[in-house]
Chains A and B, each alone.
Chain A
Amino acid sequence: MRSDFAKGILHGIPIALGYLSVSFGFGITAVRAGLSVAAAVGISASNLTSAGQAAGVEIIAAGGTLIEMALTQLIINLRYSLMGLSLSQKLDRSFTTPHRLLASFGITDEIFAVAAAQPGRIKPLYMYGLILISFIGWTGGTLLGAAAGQALPQMFTSAMGILLYGMFIAIIIPPSRKSRSIFGAVLIAALISLLFKYVLTGVSVGFAIIISASIAAAVMAVIAPIDDEDDEEDEVKEA
């Protein structure tokens, strides 16, 4: 049997490749905003998040207050709380408090999505594998972008902007084909999100995501509650 760690690394390779290109863009942006290469890499290594970091660099460049910084991070990254809560229901018994304290650092949209899509319970080593390879991709890409970003033709860097969204689509479409209720949830979330983008434009991006996702999940949880008998099923699949 392949070890959980190696499995995590393997599952994390697409994330790492996607991160490498996105964080390359972040590195370019950070240096353009006047940050040093070391500061750009330091931010990526300590935050491991895309939207929050981009907003953070804007605040630093504008000389914003620390309260503004804290509030912005709270709002943009609040979705990680929901993800952490969701993942906490799927953890293996070997996931003790020290493991949780360490692994929670690595809850990102993509790591969460891949981990949540796994059949069975999640083990600490699997999470560490996923997180480690993604972390290397994210900080490595930032370093490359910050140090050498200007050299690449703009055509390539713009096309790379779609990589991560492509990955999101790869995660949500196959289950939507199998389950009508998941498709419904995906559709409602997208529609509300469009509403925030084009009609209720006063709401910040972070809040718009949280509200859209929560309403869609709540509506579907009422209309089509998921029968939770798959816990035994999970144990079997695991074995």
Chain B
Amino acid sequence: MSIGIYIAVMAGVTYLIRMLPFTLFKSKIKSKFLRSFLKYIPYTVLSAMTFPAIFYSTGNVITATAGTIAALITAFFGLPLIVVAVAAAGTALVAGLFL
């Protein structure tokens, strides 16, 4: 099968998933439950994506755990996104030197 068809199906499905709810919901949702639900969703999605996947993100649980701790500490003090991300990767890299 041509690779172009595969890519078209991938891209088409992914676009529709993104486009339909974003485009169709124009009015404010009335239900207080649903509005609260949607306000919590950003945090719960990111949390579910991060844990436990972050511990496997470097291919070594020990270096990844060191990186995770660095990220938690820098994030706790409210440092910018890029600082937290680089602190995590830098710590994982340094931890790898000692293994």
- Spell out A's residues near B (CB within 8 Å): 13-15, 17-18, 21, 35, 39, 42-43, 46-47, 49, 52-53, 56, 59-60, 63, 66, 69-70, 73-74, 77-89, 97, 100-101, 103-105, 107, 109, 112-114, 116-117, 155-156, 158-177, 181-182, 185-190, 192-194, 197-198, 208-209, 212-214, 216-218, 220-222, 224-226, 228
Report how far A214 CA is from B82 CA in the complex, Å: 28
Closest to A100 in B: B23
- State the main secondary structure of chain A at its contact with B: helix
Q: Is the CB of A197 within 8 A of B6?
A: no
- In the complex, whether B98 has a CB less than 8 A from a CB of chain A is no
Closest to A156 in B: B93
Number of interface residues of B (CB under 8 A): 76
Report how far A79 CA is from B46 CA in the complex, Å: 10
Closest to A188 in B: B44
Q: Is the CB of B44 within 8 A of A225?
A: no
* Minimal beta-carbon separation of A114 from chain B (angstroms): 8
Most A Cβ at <10 Å: residue of B17, B38, B50: B17
Q: Is the CB of B84 within 8 A of A170?
A: yes
* Minimal beta-carbon separation of A138 from chain B (angstroms): 13
Chain A residues positioned under 8 Å from B44 (CB to CB)? 185-186, 188-189, 212-214, 216-217, 220
Q: Is the CB of B47 within 8 A of A163?
A: no
Q: Is the CB of B67 within 8 A of A162?
A: yes
Q: Is the CB of A52 within 8 A of B14?
A: yes
Q: Is the CB of B23 within 8 A of A104?
A: yes
Chain A residues positioned under 8 Å from B33 (CB to CB)? 221-222, 225
Chain B residues positioned under 8 Å from A224 (CB to CB)? 36
30 residue pairs A–B, Cβ–Cβ below 8 Å: A17-B82, A69-B9, A73-B9, A83-B41, A85-B22, A85-B25, A86-B41, A88-B24, A100-B23, A103-B22, A158-B63, A159-B63, A159-B67, A159-B92, A163-B85, A166-B84, A169-B71, A169-B84, A172-B75, A173-B72, A185-B44, A186-B43, A190-B47, A197-B52, A213-B41, A213-B48, A216-B44, A216-B47, A221-B37, A225-B33
